[in-house]
Structure 1
């Protein structure tokens, strides 16, 4: 058997096609497998998602809520002020300021 016979367990034949180097098998490598019908890839996903979401929300709430509430109050005040200034009462109240 020479190099042209292809990869195998023959010493001296080490190069094969991509992913099949063809060298002697390694010793001391243990491989474990679990049958597909014994796996449960989504076990506990819903439970973990609920509690992880709550934990992350609780940790970030004090960073997000105060500025959000402040900006909401500022925007609400600005909208109310804009509606007042563009109303009949607001125009009448500030009419003399606009004439100057």
Structure 2
């Protein structure tokens, strides 16, 4: 028996499946039962959700750091030396010996 128009959403455009029954709305397909699908579960009180998390965090952090350090360390070191040179040069140019030397 086919579903009524009201059950199919009123528009009559809802699909009727291979086995002649309403497939359902989006995400609620009412098709044939699946066979051969096995799912396993474990009780909540038997789980240990943070097992190995500290160990994995240390080694994952090191792996990620080691993989990226050569991308950001050389520019950071170069920027540090350039900034240090600029600060020292600015202090020298505004110092008394420089100003006395060029005041003459």
Aligned equivalents of 2:26, 2:71: Cα separation in 1: 52
Q: Deviations over 1:31-89 (max 9, x none)?
A: 22222222333322222111111122223333432332222112111101101111222
Task: Measure the CA separation in 1 of the matches of 2:24 and 2:78.
Answer: 67
More helix by share: 1
Partner of 1:88: 96
1:1-100 alignment, distance < 5 Å: 2-4=2-4, 12-96=20-104
Q: Which runs of 4+ in 1 moved over 6 A?
A: none
Structure 2: 5+ residue stretches without partners: 8-18
CA gap of 1:19–1:77, structure 2 versus 1, over 3 A, is: closer
Task: Structure 1: state its 5+ residue gaps.
Answer: none
Counterpart Cα distance in 2 of 1:71 and 1:90: 26
TM-score normalised to structure 1 length? 0.68
Query: RMSD value over aligned CA atoms?
Result: 2.4
